[in-house]
Amino acid sequence: MPDPSTTSGAGATTPDATADLTADLTANPDVTPLTAPRPASALATAQAQLASAVEILGYDDGLHRMLATPRREMNVAIPLRRDDGSVELFTGYRVQHNISRGPGKGGLRYAPSVDVDEVRALAMWMTWKCAVVDVPYGGAKGGVTIDPSRYSRAELERVTRRYTSEIMPIIGPERDIMAPDIGTDEQTMAWVMDTYSVNLGYTIPAVTTGKPLPVGGSLGRATATSRGVVHAAAAALGDAGVRLDEVTTAVQGFGKVGSHAARFLHEAGARVVAVSDQFGGIRAADGLDVPALLTHVAHTGSVVGFEGADAVSNAELLALDVDVLVPAAVENVLDEHTAGRVKARWVVEGANGPTTTGGDRVLAERGIVVVPDILANAGGVVVSYFEWVQANQAYWWTEHEIAERLEQRMASAYAAVSALSRRESLSLRDAALVIGVRRVAEAHQIRGLYP
């Protein structure tokens, strides 16, 4: 399905030319070096997804390389003086994958698994996600390789402030705007905003989103990703004439995304039969009392031990006999092996990159519909965009306005992806990627290549 208005240079890319793009990029000293990703790494998945979209769109190799290569990256050393006086050193990253449609936008992750390739993958997914829901942003992501559960609040504040001051030259409301991700929260965003503002001498709320309400956060932001997941699930089910109150569901991950997704699914009438977190999972065939579970988690810090439920492992949860599976934790949980055991009819990706390329192939072969991350979890960036718009205008919208606009954006993005998928016989993932990648390529094409 080549679109001549968005291709550049001579001819279409052949499948052979794009088969191993990463190896090609690594071998070629003239392009930004990309560390060769590990097999089934998030970056390998992201690059393979882009290669698939590029092949469908018929783009040439030059454009493919531009789309595949991060525009700008910063690695920083973060020394922390611990509460006991000793000093530890961490590494932090900020990757701006693409800024052709607007400022970089993307979360900040604190996890021991963070490395530059993971951040590159997450930044690339942000680029396509912002384009799919048509918000005027590019894609970016940040991370610090740290296990936040091992550090005090004061230590995490110092890490956050030092990281922010190190990456100050490349962030800002018109350059790159941060939001919470795994291991960070609205307090982290307040520290980032404060550090940035104090250094510049005045308050600049629009440098982060997902902030607390008293410092310019938006109503509805904390639950926006989860609301979007449920809108996307409802729309996908609707394509098959099924309603949320007719289905059973299992949710992996019970953090900012998974916990509210479980709550909204429960409120919509779906039977939530299993949930999990990093410590383990629980199941109840008749459905979990999600409000009571939220209280349990607030007191204990985990879903484990919830009264009246049986234990289930994270691996078992993925293979439960439910209608809708919502992975909302980490990457690569559905690979070619685990995907073969999935019994759900729909997989709605709350997490970024939960399905590997092999996993995608197996799910497709088995007729399981995957609502892809760059569509299903885009509600967060949609309301982040609303928060940024409100901060720039210094004018605040009601929760009802936010919820209504979010639902409209999710509905129109889903409708466009679903229509393209039907028209061109593409998976929802390929259709979403084609829409996102084409919008970014169009921006490149229209802006032209400088100099």
Binding site for ligand NAD (CB under 6 A): 180-183, 225, 252-258, 276-278, 314, 328-330, 350-352, 377, 380
Name which of 65, 63, 57 is nearest 23 in CA terms.
Answer: 65
Determine how many CB atoms are found less than 10 A away from the CB of residue 419. 11
Give the separation between CA 431 and CA 441, rounded to whole angstroms. 15
Query: Judged by CB, which is closer to ligand NAD: 312, or 329?
Result: 329
Minimum CB separation from ligand NAD for residue 121, in Å?
A: 10
Query: Judged by CB, which is closer to ligand NAD: 70, or 281?
Result: 281
The three-state secondary structure class of 206 is helix
Minimum CB separation from ligand NAD for residue 2, in Å?
A: 31
Name which of 396, 302, 434 is nearest 1 in CA terms.
Answer: 434
Sheet holding 176-180, edge to edge: 72-81, 87-98, 139-145, 104-111, 176-180
Query: Judged by CB, which is closer to ligand NAD: 13, or 47?
Result: 47
Contact of 165 with 157, CB cutoff 8 Å: no
For every residue of 372-440, DSSP letters joined together read -HHHHTTHHHHHHHHHHHHHHHT----HHHHHHHHHHHHHHHHHHHHHHHHHHT--HHHHHHHHHHHHH
Contact of 303 with 296, CB cutoff 8 Å: yes
Residue recorded with tokens 């900012």: 256
Token pair in block for residue 412: 């129109």
Give the separation between CA 100 and CA 136, rounded to whole angstroms. 9
The three-state secondary structure class of 196 is helix
Query: Judged by CB, which is closer to ligand NAD: 7, or 377?
Result: 377
Query: Judged by CB, which is closer to ligand NAD: 181, or 194?
Result: 181
Query: Judged by CB, which is closer to ligand NAD: 255, or 358?
Result: 255
Using alpha carbons, list the distances in angstroms from residue 88 to 77, 81, 146, 183, 260: 10, 7, 11, 19, 35
Question: Which class for 136: exposed (0-12), middle (13-18), buried (19 or more C-beta within 10 A)?
Answer: middle
User: Which residues are within 8 A (CB) of 446 and not within 5 positions of it... i.e. 6 or more apart?
Assistant: none
Give the separation between CA 1 and CA 65, rounded to whole angstroms. 19
Residue 310: beta bridge partners? Answer: 283
Minimum CB separation from ligand NAD for residue 399, in Å?
A: 17
Minimum CB separation from ligand NAD for residue 330, in Å?
A: 5
Which phi and psi (to 5°) does residue 290 adopt? Answer: -65, -45
Q: Give the residue closest to ligand NAD by C-beta.
A: 255
Catalytic residue among 105, 129, 141, 211: 141
Query: Judged by CB, which is closer to ligand NAD: 191, or 254?
Result: 254
Minimum CB separation from ligand NAD for residue 425, in Å?
A: 28
Q: Answer left, alpha or beta for residue 60, where phi above 0 means left and psi between -120 and 50 means alpha.
A: beta
Q: Is 256 a catalytic residue?
A: no
Query: Judged by CB, which is closer to ligand NAD: 318, or 426?
Result: 318
- Report the sign of the C-alpha dihedral through residues 343, 327, 331, 19, in that order: positive
Give me the active site residues, please.
141
